[in-house]
Amino acid sequence: MTKLSVNINKIATIRNARGGNNPDVVKCAIDCQQFGAHGITVHPRPDERHIRYQDVRDIKPIITTEFNIEGNPIDSFTELVLEVKPTQVTLVPDSHDQITSNHGWDTIANAQFLTDICRTFKQAGIRTSIFVDPDAEMVEGAKAAGADRVELYTEPYASLYPTDPEAAIAPFIKAAEKAREVGLGLNAGHDLSLENLKYYCQLIPWTDEVSIGHALVCDALYLGLKETIRQYIECL
């Protein structure tokens, strides 16, 4: 079964909008686990506009499932990951002022950088995943850089899915097949939702993990967090 990792960035966004500690990000991580999530994902950015570096430190001791930290491996991020030692680090090519992730790595143009950073994390015993567009060449580049997994950037799939599901999934199947061929684990994330998740995983059932935050938190406003996680797991 594909695992569900709940991205709790949006919970932190709500907290930060008002100040204080409501909602409690650490408690939310605990609740997500208790409600059945297989992992917790956080994406700390340099401006700490949602998840803060201290949140990452606070969450790690209470996580009993997988902990995935994603972000651009600038020096401060790399130091944080090496300090906390999560189950997985996902390398994402975000600029410092980017609202949300909107593209994967060019693993060919950035081959040496990615090779060096993958080596750093793997020497610390941290599984390393590289965020890529659904492109077989980029998948092969991630393998050459020493990654353990790739995470396919699924926003293009989510955008096209309502009008043409078959066309939407086609490039992802090819990229996923390439990942399996070269021996990479396979993750997926960005704009996956209750509407499109089941179809994605039915056609790419060897997906190891999906990371879902924005849509899941939006659904939880209406369904409640426990019921929302149940429905997402049912899709898987």
CA angle at 10 for the pair 28 and 22, rounded to the nearest 5°: 50
The yes-or-no answer on residue 70 being catalytic is yes
Measured CA to CA, the distance from residue 35 to residue 199 in angstroms comes to 23
Catalytic residue among 66, 70, 140, 151: 70
What does the block give as tokens for 209? Answer: 């993990």
The yes-or-no answer on residue 190 being catalytic is yes
Catalytic residue among 50, 151, 190, 209: 190
Cross-strand partners of 39: 5, 66
Catalytic residue among 43, 140, 151, 209: 43
Identify the DSSP state of 19: -
CA dihedral (119, 81, 126, 201) positive or negative: negative
Contact 43, 80 (CB under 8 A): no
**Residue 29, SS3?**
helix
Catalytic residues: 43, 70, 190
